[in-house]
Structure 1
């Protein structure tokens, strides 16, 4: 079931405004659970978690910055 461009824009905004801060809290909690490892391990965890969060949402964010292809030309 394809999602309209307008719905994808709204969903991406929701993900960025609500989901991303929650994910950041989870990432910081993971680091705290590891009892503050060395700076290189901490950097590696943040980089991996920073990339992993966006992978499931790739299809939502793709093409959001473009003009609405469903809208007729005026």
Structure 2
């Protein structure tokens, strides 16, 4: 058998291999993209839950602390208080 007679089969096999490799790369990229989106949504949920917990704890700390130990309210900029 000569190279000329085998060439179409070799090229077809090479094209098939490259096609499968390209498919695998696209599938991996899509899976990674989907995972990134899921992680982003989970991070937003976590951030919301953490903010709710912090607010709850701040409210509880304000209710538990005696007035002398409660933090002073921040002054607004503008007219100074005498």
TM-score, normalised to structure 2, is 0.33
TM-score, normalised to structure 1, is 0.35
Q: Give the number of the structure with larger relative contact order, counting CA–CA contacts within 8 Å between residues 6 or more apart.
A: 1
Which of the pair has more CA radius of gyration?
A: 2
